[in-house]
Amino acid sequence: MKRLAQLKEEGLAKIEACRDLNVLQTLRVLYLGKKGPVQEVMKMMKELPKEDRPAFGQQVNEIKSLFASMIEERKQVLEEEAIQKQIESEKIDITLDGLKPVIGTIHPLMLVQQEIEDVFIGLGYTVADGPEVEMDLYNFERANIPKDHPARDMQDTFYINAEELLRTHTTAIQTRQLEKCAKEHALPIKVICPGKVYRRDDDDATHSHQFIQCEGLVIGKDIRLSDLKGTLLFLAQKMFGESRTIRFRPSYFQFTEPSVEVDVSCHVCGGKGCSVCKGTGWIEILGAGMVHPNVLEMAGIDSKEYSGFAFGIGIERVAMLKYGIQDIRNFYTNDIRFLKTFNRFE
């Protein structure tokens, strides 16, 4: 009986003190398995008088089940501790600032292009596209600039081969649109054509061999110069402020007749004269005119029935005026500090 009490005390103390699940498992084998101190004590039963044996056996069994339940209890405590430890070690401190993903900004040239597109979509125009490697046919001939004509020299560019070149103006998209709409009997036409163009040019603060144009084309019955003027006045006021006025000056393009240069009253001084408008009160922003009858006829449109106007804006120039940018190269060097100033999201 003494040995039994000793066994009980010893076992419970060991279980109680156990801090490790693996050690606990060896204790389980030891106390509940086939070989161990409990079994040893069991063997002692034979030496007892017969009448004491049942009580002794019962006690051994009680100790055994006490060990079993104590081990189970301890196991749960240790498992719970292990989970807590893991949770503790995997804890994420959500009070720390996360890494902010860097959000890109829309390029200022795209902002201006989108703004122009919005103005014309609002007037019922569609937006057309075309290839940057263009056929001589659509870039020059259909724009009434035949082979060997000196007007080609002004837009001398990068030829890919004898027939193809990097387009020099988005007028090439317009000559394609004219042909397409004539074929599909889809007149009248109201379209704008934004895109990159390429010319042999100086690369300095105001010139680049590559830039973006947005040209516009309207063909219908009884379209007049006054329609062109009203349209461009609307555009100028949307882009540079409601109080802007415009003026036409005579000019020359092969594909329009008459042709004009269009000036907008200076948005900085309001027309009084300042450094931006070089003291004149006016800023030249685009070329335009009434589409030349030859251009219509070459595309298969009857110039006696239809007339229309076209205009071409340089996106870089508008962006420079609008945002007060001095050097065109800022647009192309991709300096994040420059681009970030056009962030609309912060």
**Residue nearer to ligand PHE on the CB measure, 144 or 330:** 144
282 binds ligand PHE per the rule CB under 6 A: no
- Distance CA(38)–CA(31), nearest Å, equals 6
**Residue nearer to ligand PHE on the CB measure, 182 or 310:** 310
Element (H, E) at 133: strand 133-135
Per CB under 6 A, contacts with ligand PHE among 155-174 are 169, 171
Tokens representing 35 are 């070989």
289 binds ligand PHE per the rule CB under 6 A: yes
| DSSP annotation string for 49-105 | -GGGHHHHHHHHHHHHHHHHHHHHHHHHHHHHHHHHHHHHHT---TTS--PPPPPP-
Binding-site member from 15, 193, 212, 310 for ligand PHE (CB under 6 A): 310
* H and E: helices and strands count for the chain: 12, 9
Tokens representing 295 are 């251009």
**Residue nearer to ligand PHE on the CB measure, 24 or 232:** 232
Tokens representing 182 are 């004539």
- Distance CA(259)–CA(312), nearest Å, equals 11
Per CB under 6 A, contacts with ligand PHE among 193-222 are 215
Q: Give the binding range for ligand PHE (CB under 6 A) out of 58-66, 238-246, 270-278, 308-316.
A: 308-316
Binding-site member from 288, 298, 299, 318 for ligand PHE (CB under 6 A): 288
Cβ contact 211:315 at 8 Å: yes
Burial of 202 (0-12, 13-18, 19+ CB in 10 A): exposed
Q: How many whole angstroms from its chain centre is CA 214?
A: 22
**Nearest to ligand PHE by Cβ — which residue?**
312
Binding-site member from 109, 277, 312, 316 for ligand PHE (CB under 6 A): 312
Binding-site member from 256, 265, 307, 330 for ligand PHE (CB under 6 A): 256
Query: If binding means CB under 6 A, how many residues of this protein chain bind ligand PHE?
Result: 11
Min CB(251)–ligand PHE separation in Å: 8
287 binds ligand PHE per the rule CB under 6 A: yes
Min CB(273)–ligand PHE separation in Å: 27
Nearest to 181 by CA among 270, 295, 328, 257: 295
**Residue nearer to ligand PHE on the CB measure, 36 or 258:** 258
108 binds ligand PHE per the rule CB under 6 A: no
**Residue nearer to ligand PHE on the CB measure, 134 or 215:** 215
**Residue nearer to ligand PHE on the CB measure, 254 or 330:** 254
3-state helix, strand, coil in the chain (%, to 5): 45, 20, 35
Backbone φ and ψ for 278, nearest 5 degrees, come out as: 55, 40
138 binds ligand PHE per the rule CB under 6 A: no
Binding-site member from 120, 140, 311, 331 for ligand PHE (CB under 6 A): 311
Nearest to 329 by CA among 202, 214, 154: 202
Binding-site member from 140, 198, 253, 331 for ligand PHE (CB under 6 A): 253
Min CB(288)–ligand PHE separation in Å: 5
**Residues at the site binding ligand PHE, with contacts judged by CB under 6 A:** 169, 171, 215, 253, 256, 287-289, 310-312
